[in-house]
Amino acid sequence: MDLVRHLEYFVAVAEERHFGRAAAILGVTQPPVSRAIKALEKHLDLTLIERTPDGAAITEHGAALLPRARLIVDDARRLTSTARSLTSADTVRIGLVPQVDDALAARIAASVGVQARVETAGAVALLDGVRAHELDVAVIDHPVVLDRLVAGPAITLPRQVSVPVAHRSSRAKRPRLTMLSDLVFATTPRAANPPAHDLLLDAFRHHALDPEILWANTFRDVAVAVASGRCFGLVPAASPVLPGTCHLDLAAEDVALRVRIVRRDEKAEPSARLIDRILLQAAR
């Protein structure tokens, strides 16, 4: 049996709670969906969906298997998408560290002018992707251990310190980093890029700040942590001030994000040049 297809039908029915609506979303008629559910139930020896007067109800067993079924269906779609990108001469595979904000990431993807596949990961993982020919070009934070890979010059992107709106530093006429000693620093895990992480903490210590660390993989994680009132974080200078937060200009040179572009081969050189121009514009 086509297990992935049958799981796709199961996920659609479970989410829609209706065979007809699920069939419409899947672009098929209702009978194939009903047959697929019955075949899947027979294969698993479990009842997953029960018909009701209002449509369909997921059983206890179905609810237990639904998260795993979603993962399998999503992974199958990603595999197909990745395979297509690998065989497409027009596809450029771009890696970005999570410190690159959404607006800048969107500009980079749009600038390539071809089908772009963009993924986010720490610098160490992105460099592994470039070495393994899984990525054509990557924007990584600096410094980092390149291990024989060639990277472009470092570009400095301004950042600000985001603090809780009610914190004393947000009301100070001359705020200083030392005022943040009662807050936890929300930032990407050290394993993402140990040299850059350690260099930033060394800069904080130079300002008499040695904060506790909270791992925050995305800007959303940072914003939520800061808005909660117990953390501070670093955000792009041009990013909007979100509710519950306040942006401060503190130790601008020390907290700035330094990035470099790493490319795999000549194929990615045009994309690397475009990305370089966008980063230089953001640095101004």
Pairing assessment for the beta strands 184-187 and 231-236 based on DSSP bridges: parallel
3-class SS at 100? coil
Which CATH number belongs to the domain containing residue 220 in this structure? 3.40.190.10
Residues 178 and 64 both lie in one domain = no
Does residue 62 sit in the same domain as residue 112? no
Dig out the tokens for 209 from the structure.
């700040």
Token pair belonging to 237: 């200078």
At 16, which CATH number? 1.10.10.10
By percentage, how much of the chain surpasses pLDDT 70? 96
In what helix (H) or strand (E) does residue 177 lie, and over which residues does it extend?
A: none
pLDDT, tens digit, for every residue of 104-152? 999 998 887 667 889 999 999 999 999 888 888 999 999 998 877 888 9
Question: Which letter, b or e, does each residue of 224-245 get, where b requires 16 or more Cβ atoms within 10 Å of its Cβ?
Answer: bbbbeeebbbbbbbebeebeeb
pTM of the model: 0.68
State the total domains in the chain: 3
Q: Is 169 in contact with 254 (CB distance < 8 Å)?
A: no
283, exposed or middle or buried, with CB in 10 Å at 0-12, 13-18, 19+?
Answer: middle
DSSP character string of 26-54: HTS-HHHHHHHHHHHHHHHTS--EEEETT
The β-bridge partners of 163 are 246
Quick check: 28 and 46 in contact, CB under 8 A?
no
The string of pLDDT tens digits covering residues 141-179 is 999 988 778 889 999 999 999 999 999 999 999 999 999
If asked whether residues 263 and 245 sit together in one domain, one would say: no
Q: Would you state the pLDDT for residue 195?
A: 95
Residue that is last in its domain, among 86, 111, 134: 86
- Dihedral over Cα of 125, 247, 104, 219: its sign: positive
Pair 170, 243 in one domain: yes
Q: Where a domain ends, among 61, 86, 111?
A: 86
Structural domain including 25 reads 3-86
> Do 133 and 193 fall within a single domain?
no
